[in-house]
A and B are shown apart, each in its own frame.
Chain A
Amino acid sequence: MKHHRAAVLTALLVSIAVATARASSHREAPLISQDPTADNTDVYAFVSPADPGKVTLISNFIPLEAPSGGPNFFKFDDNVLYEIHVDNNGDAVEDITFQFRFTTEVRNGSTFLYNVGPVTSLDSPNLIVVQRYTLTRVKGGRGSANRETLATGLLTAPNNVGINSMPSYPSLAAQAVQSLAGGIKVFAGQREDGFYVDLSRVFDLLQVTRGTPRDGVAGFNVHTIAVEVPIEQLTRSGTRPTSLTDPAAVIGVWSTASRPAVSVLRPGGRESRGEFVQVSRLGNPLVNEVVIPRGMKDAFNASEPKDDAQFAQFVTDPEVGRLLTALFGLRVPPPPRNDLVQVFLTGIPGLTQPPGVKAAEELRLNVAVPPNRGTPNRLGVLGGDLAGYPNGRRVGVDVVDIALTAVSGILVPGFGVMLGDGVDGNDAPYLDAFPYLGTPHPGNQ
């Protein structure tokens, strides 16, 4: 959901068209700048359709990767700590965290190429830029010493630079799906962006009803971290719940990215890297983007779910709701919007609300709901498909339409209409097995 920003800023700030050279009269460092390598775009959590005893957790970074990225290829940032968190008892504190840390190897010194010949395996000597990663599982809250390195030196799937370099990209990328002890699978690397939205309709004053719909993120890729984990390794009971009402059945999921703070000066050349500071946080789609107001975003991105009471007012009286009224004369439920609190903060009673839940922005998944392997409904729960958003989020679900419709008040008797951005599906196929997100668009066809 955060994709749109990159495009806009690029359009706005690019100074390439400058015909006249001009030594800047003062130094203007990026301020409206992006942080794409730590920019969390989408989080998914769902019971794996191809392996229903497991849950797939996915987090995407680096918005709007143009396939023809040229020699400046996309990669994870070695300085960033990427994490996917799971709260399995509803107390708004992580109980299990999967940490990804990357290291980049540039072979053949400084060359501008990404590869020097056909690449058919992940460790091909023809690949010049190779990223490896370490996967660590942390049990307990932040700073817990209960850490276990699940794997090191794992290879990422490279960028899909094109058919000449990578004649069979799908099988190359499949090598990056690693099976670890305990039935865990992991993947990191480039994927097709499975999100779809009409950016201008949703974000340019919510022009939901005008013009021809157009998927604004069609044709772009992202970088994905994904783990598939047996359900009993994620629940608080250590078992696989089979009843919707099992108190252990609901897990809450969110993802973060953190960067090291660095001391500005370093007298005597001493080590200057300090603590990791969380710079990006994402659970439910749309909350960070649309619900949290400007001026609060840095604070939200740095925050932890346990402190989310400070943001509750933006959910109980969202600006988007007021906009729907102002622009379309739509009668939305009056604040406080407890219906939206359930969608975004506490989970829906009887489906995604754990007993004794503490309100917090987490993507909540009831793992006892079996995956829909027949005909998944794009509108998820609103379309009668309990295995879709807001019960977790599987690939392909139309979260934009669901969220807009929810804001219109569909969950409150007497309110709500079906709203949509007019874009009802993705521009590329998904995979039917882990990591589920599709093959990235190639750099050349």
Chain B
Amino acid sequence: MTTTLALLVLALSVPTPSPSLASASADALREKIRTLEARAQEAPAEAKAWKELVVAWRGLARLSGDPACDDEAWKALSAALRAEPDDYEALALKGWVQAARHDFEGAVVSARAAMALRPGDAWNHGVLADALTELGRYDEAVAAVERMMRLRPGVGAYSRAAHLRAVHGDREGAIELMQMAVEASGPSDPEGLAWCRVMLGLELQGRGDHAAAREQYSRALEVAPGYHLALFHLAESQAATGELAAAIETLERLDSPQASASVAAALGDLHAAAGRPEVAARFYRRVDAVAALRDPSRAEPRWLARFYADQGRNLDEATLLVRAELKTHQDVETWDGLAWVLYRAGRYDEARAASDHALAPGIVDARLLYHRGLIEAALAQRGPARASLEKALALRSLWPQERTRAEAALEAVR
């Protein structure tokens, strides 16, 4: 492990390295943050404690999913840079925090500035690649990962390259690289290993290879019990193969009053598909209640827009949500979100233009193709619609509702 921040992170050491994941709790991190805040207040003109606070708050953000932690990280970073404006580590941390707060343009500028100071530090190339990927500037992102790869091949470079391959339509290549990332990981880094396994699982699932995908999710759960990403995508896989009861059971493990709206929505969809509309309606009402809180940590705008579009309601609001997101976030998924919302609003030409953006890099994804096929069908482009829908269905990874609609639309354009 050799990143810029290794020693910085060290100073946050929980003195007892424990194999038990449960012990690495958010509480320990909160306590560390309290200690560090006291240290920072003692010597506010030194960057050191402020920088450690940045790393601690980012860690807690990952643990809790609470974006308020990233606001705190930003405050600590600003204090570090006020104390020592030329401190390299603080400058290298800046882009990382900006990207976490979805200031991707700012992250690009900061990463490039830090890179000029220490060209050999792979960290900045990773920050840059992530921000460029979110901005949909894929050619530049590829170049950044190429540089990262030359400096330091490993989990960071392999997993980033894998995502870019997938975006460019090379799923097999993405799988190969995620396998290398899994190999490079290890149980001593449970979160990293579990994350890599879930990403590998997602690519396998994306080509309809559900058995292999589920093995990855199970293995992620073994090293990281209860890992939310693994459970969520396992449920997706079960839903895609029509195992509705199993999918519901999996999602119920994630469900709680504090759970994000996406869990409630997925449970609603599954109950609806299983012929229990009243139960589904109850879950959908919960989504609406969470959405009304306007808390992006529990109902991410881009996701909420897609939910509304799936339901065919609140389409004006959905359009506004995606358009707002597009101002800072222009990756394939955001463009697809816009395409889907516009299609549901009956604005087919605009929908197709947005879908063109989404598919431009060459990505082959069941959901994107399903949206594309419906748009083409609405524009009476029967041949292309047939091709898109057939391809989408062949990938065997759509949700039950999506599959039903895709099959009906395909029937209509045959």
Whether B184 lies near A20 (C-beta < 8 A) is: no
A431 on the interface (CB 8 Å rule)? no
Closest B residue to A216 by beta carbon equals: B17
CA distance A72 to B187 in the complex (A): 6
CB contact under 8 A between A15 and B8, given known A39-B1, A66-B19: no
B81 on the interface (CB 8 Å rule)? no
Whether B130 lies near A28 (C-beta < 8 A) is: yes
Task: Give which listed residue, A68, A72, A269, A279, contacts B222 with CB less than 8 A.
Answer: A72
Which B residues are in CB contact (< 8 Å) with A277?
Answer: 149-153
Whether B165 lies near A298 (C-beta < 8 A) is: no
Whether A16 lies near B21 (C-beta < 8 A) is: yes
B285 on the interface (CB 8 Å rule)? no
B223 on the interface (CB 8 Å rule)? yes
Which B residues are in CB contact (< 8 Å) with A280?
Answer: 2
Whether B187 lies near A74 (C-beta < 8 A) is: yes
Task: Give which listed residue, A72, A77, A203, A297, contacts B13 with CB less than 8 A.
Answer: A203
A405 on the interface (CB 8 Å rule)? no
Which among A34, A64, A301 has the greatest number of chain B C-beta atoms within 10 A?
Answer: A34
Task: Give which listed residue, B22, B191, B193, B300, contacts A72 with CB less than 8 A.
Answer: B193
Task: Give which listed residue, A110, A203, A300, contacts B10 with CB less than 8 A.
Answer: A203
Whether A34 lies near B260 (C-beta < 8 A) is: no
B173 to chain A, nearest CB (A): 5
Whether A199 lies near B260 (C-beta < 8 A) is: no
CB contact under 8 A between A200 and B15, given known A72-B219, A262-B177, A295-B118: yes
Whether A279 lies near B2 (C-beta < 8 A) is: yes
CA distance A276 to B377 in the complex (A): 49
CA distance A259 to B215 in the complex (A): 26
Q: Chain B: how many interface residues by the 8 Å CB criterion?
A: 117
B181 to chain A, nearest CB (A): 8
Whether B165 lies near A265 (C-beta < 8 A) is: yes
A26 to chain B, nearest CB (A): 5
CB contact under 8 A between A299 and B22, given known A8-B10, A294-B8: no
Closest A residue to B138 by beta carbon equals: A265
Whether B297 lies near A22 (C-beta < 8 A) is: yes
Which among B19, B118, B231 has the greatest number of chain A C-beta atoms within 10 A?
Answer: B19
A145 on the interface (CB 8 Å rule)? no
Stretch at the interface among B56-64, B273-281, B314-322, B368-376: B56-64
B170 to chain A, nearest CB (A): 6
B271 on the interface (CB 8 Å rule)? no
Which B residues are in CB contact (< 8 Å) with A9?
Answer: 1, 9, 189
Task: Give which listed residue, B3, B102, B165, B188, contacts A32 with CB less than 8 A.
Answer: B3
Whether A30 lies near B195 (C-beta < 8 A) is: yes
CA distance A66 to B145 in the complex (A): 32
Task: Give which listed residue, A29, A62, A294, contacts B160 with CB less than 8 A.
Answer: A29
Name A's interface SS: loop
Whether A266 lies near B170 (C-beta < 8 A) is: yes
CB contact under 8 A between A261 and B149, given known A26-B102, A70-B222, A294-B89: yes
Stretch at the interface among B121-129, B345-353, B387-395, B404-412: B121-129
Which among B2, B126, B215 has the greatest number of chain A C-beta atoms within 10 A?
Answer: B2
Closest A residue to B179 by beta carbon equals: A79
Whether B12 lies near A12 (C-beta < 8 A) is: yes
Residues of chain B from 45 to 66 with CB closer than 8 A to chain A in the complex: 55-56, 59, 62-65
Closest A residue to B89 by beta carbon equals: A294
B29 on the interface (CB 8 Å rule)? yes
Whether B225 lies near A31 (C-beta < 8 A) is: no
Stretch at the interface among B239-247, B251-259, B336-344, B378-386: B251-259
A19 on the interface (CB 8 Å rule)? yes
Task: Give which listed residue, A13, A24, A29, A265, contacts B126 with CB less than 8 A.
Answer: A29
Whether A264 lies near B146 (C-beta < 8 A) is: yes
Which B residues are in CB contact (< 8 Å) with A35?
Answer: 1-2, 154-155, 184
CB contact under 8 A between A32 and B5, given known A77-B183, A264-B164, A265-B165: yes
Which B residues are in CB contact (< 8 Å) with A31?
Answer: 3, 96, 123, 126-127, 130, 156
Task: Give which listed residue, B17, B184, B224, contacts A6 with CB less than 8 A.
Answer: B17
Whether B164 lies near A265 (C-beta < 8 A) is: yes
Whether B189 lies near A5 (C-beta < 8 A) is: no
Which A residues are in CB contact (< 8 Å) with B190?
Answer: 10, 14, 16
CA distance A397 to B255 in the complex (A): 53
A92 to chain B, nearest CB (A): 20
CA distance A184 to B346 in the complex (A): 76
Whether B260 lies near A23 (C-beta < 8 A) is: yes
B228 on the interface (CB 8 Å rule)? yes
CA distance A65 to B165 in the complex (A): 32
Task: Give which listed residue, A18, A72, A205, A299, contacts B11 with CB less than 8 A.
Answer: A205
Closest A residue to B263 by beta carbon equals: A21
CA distance A63 to B187 in the complex (A): 10
B401 on the interface (CB 8 Å rule)? no
Which A residues are in CB contact (< 8 Å) with B64?
Answer: 18, 20
B226 on the interface (CB 8 Å rule)? yes
Closest A residue to B144 by beta carbon equals: A264
Which B residues are in CB contact (< 8 Å) with A289?
Answer: 7
CA distance A36 to B193 in the complex (A): 11
Whether A21 lies near B22 (C-beta < 8 A) is: no
Whether A66 lies near B256 (C-beta < 8 A) is: no
CA distance A412 to B294 in the complex (A): 65
Closest B residue to A266 by beta carbon equals: B173
A202 to chain B, nearest CB (A): 10
24 contacts between A and B (CB under 8 A): A8-B14, A11-B18, A12-B12, A13-B59, A14-B24, A20-B258, A20-B298, A21-B231, A21-B260, A25-B296, A25-B300, A26-B102, A28-B130, A29-B126, A33-B154, A33-B189, A34-B192, A64-B17, A204-B10, A265-B164, A294-B88, A298-B3, A298-B4, A298-B122
Those 3 A-B pairs whose CB atoms lie nearest each other, nearest first: A7-B17, A66-B19, A299-B120
19 further A-B contacts with Cβ under 8 Å, apart from A216-B16, A259-B154, are A6-B1, A6-B188, A10-B24, A15-B227, A16-B224, A20-B260, A21-B263, A25-B296, A26-B329, A28-B100, A29-B156, A34-B1, A35-B2, A37-B185, A203-B13, A262-B158, A264-B146, A294-B5, A301-B152
